[in-house]
């Protein structure tokens, strides 16, 4: 997912879990597609709205190459300036969450509908990786789209932000985290997600999350049994943007969610979503 955080209160600090020197603190943030986990931290009152976008929707929204946002977290004030202050002010003045979602629906839908179209081959390949939890070889994606490997990678960098192989690794790890959340052991979860052996799983886990599976539970905070820690696909969880006590850390690989041009606005601790544009129809090679 690409995440846009519009904050009305105190700041959030987002830290790369693998490279902690990469960190940004701001009330409003843009978090691009990442191949590694991110930690969201706060120590005081935090209040706001998070918009979750698939990379394809973000590409249409920004009309900019997604590789310029990939692996980056930026202060939205540096990007939008006075426009951000105006939008945050309008959101803060809304009388309730439904009116905030409606405002975002109007603004985002207009930009999405007028944005550049995504290549149907990229949309199809993204969906295929998502549906198979990253277990479709990149060579097979290239063959089935009719593109060469280099062309597929260039288009993914432009419209998704990450190459297909990196995205596949994220989806596969998310599948293992989902299996673990359902009660399986780490070994069984790794096998169900398609890892060759425990060493393969542990190596990839540490590369993407920054610790071993054994240490991971100690680093988690899971408010009320359903927190935003694993950032699993199709789960809208943003407790870090509507909490009043801390400190709290949340972690999870960033790129998540359903394929297609959809986005969702969510307040902290809520599963409510606001669909901003319909998904594009799948492309069939």
For residue 218, pLDDT over 80 is answered with no
Q: Are 257 and 49 in contact (CB under 8 A)?
A: no
The pLDDT assigned to 42 comes to 80
DSSP 137: -
β-bridge pairing 12-16 and 2-7: unpaired
The pLDDT assigned to 221 comes to 57
Q: Which residue has the tokens 């990379």?
A: 55
Q: What are the helix (H) ranges across the chain?
A: 55-62, 76-80, 82-93, 97-113, 120-131, 138-145, 149-159, 164-181, 186-192, 198-209, 216-219
Mean pLDDT of the chain: 78
Residue 237 CB contacts under 8 Å (≥ 6 apart), including other chains: 226, 227, 228, 231, 266, 271
Q: What is the pTM of this model?
A: 0.77
Report the C-alpha gap between 37 and 5 in whole angstroms.
Answer: 17
Residue 273 exposed, middle or buried by CB count within 10 Å (0-12, 13-18, 19+): middle
Question: What domains sit in the chain, N to C, each tagged with a CATH number?
Answer: 2-117+217-267 (no CATH), 120-209 (1.10.10.60)
Report the C-alpha gap between 11 and 9 in whole angstroms.
Answer: 7
Residue 278's CB: how many other CB atoms inside 10 A?
12
**Tokens representing residue 241 in the block:** 């943007």
The pLDDT assigned to 139 comes to 95
DSSP 60: H
Report the C-alpha gap between 269 and 258 in whole angstroms.
Answer: 20
Report the C-alpha gap between 179 and 189 in whole angstroms.
Answer: 5
For residue 282, pLDDT over 80 is answered with no
For residue 243, pLDDT over 70 is answered with no
Long-range contacts of 17-26 (CB under 8 A, 24+ apart): 17/209, 17/210, 17/211, 17/251, 18/207, 18/208, 18/209, 18/210, 22/73, 23/73, 24/73, 24/74, 24/75, 26/75, 26/76, 26/77
The C-alpha angle with vertex 262 and arms to 257 and 266, in degrees rounded to 5, equals 70
**Tokens representing residue 120 in the block:** 């149907």
Give pLDDT tens digits for 4-62: 999 988 888 999 989 889 999 999 999 999 999 888 888 777 788 888 889 999 999 88
**Tokens representing residue 163 in the block:** 């190459």
Local structure of 189: helix, strand or coil: helix
Give pLDDT tens digits for 157-211: 999 999 999 999 999 999 999 999 899 999 999 999 999 999 999 999 999 999 9
- Band of pLDDT at residue 250, cut at 50, 70 and 90: very low
């Amino acid at each position: 997912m690409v995440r846009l955080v519009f904050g009305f209160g105190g700041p959030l600090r987002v830290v790369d879990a693998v490279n902690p020197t990469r960190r940004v603190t701001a009330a409003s943030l843009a978090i691009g597609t990442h191949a590694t986990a991110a930690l969201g931290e706060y120590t005081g009152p935090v209040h706001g709205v998070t918009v979750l976008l698939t990379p394809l929707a973000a590409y249409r929204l920004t009309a900019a190459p997604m590789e310029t946002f990939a692996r980056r977290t930026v202060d939205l004030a540096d990007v939008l300036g006075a426009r951000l202050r105006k939008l945050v002010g309008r959101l803060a003045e809304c009388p309730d969450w439904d009116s905030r979602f409606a405002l975002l629906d109007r603004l985002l839908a207009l930009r999405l509908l007028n944005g550049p179209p995504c290549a149907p081959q990229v949309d199809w390949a993204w969906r295929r990786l998502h549906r198979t939890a990253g277990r479709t070889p990149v060579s097979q994606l290239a063959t089935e789209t009719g593109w060469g490997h280099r062309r597929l990678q260039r288009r993914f960098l432009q419209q998704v932000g990450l190459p297909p192989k990196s995205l596949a690794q994220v989806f596969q790890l998310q599948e293992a985290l989902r299996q673990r959340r359902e009660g399986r052991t780490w070994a069984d979860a790794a096998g169900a997600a398609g890892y060759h052996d425990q060493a393969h799983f542990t190596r990839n886990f540490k590369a993407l999350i920054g610790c071993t599976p054994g240490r991971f539970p100690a680093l988690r905070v899971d408010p009320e049994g359903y927190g935003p820690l694993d950032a699993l696909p199709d789960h809208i969880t943003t407790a870090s943007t509507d909490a009043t006590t801390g400190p709290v850390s949340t972690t999870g690989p960033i790129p998540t969610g359903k394929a297609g041009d959809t986005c969702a606005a969510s307040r902290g601790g809520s599963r409510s979503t606001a669909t901003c544009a319909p998904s594009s129809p799948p492309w069939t090679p």
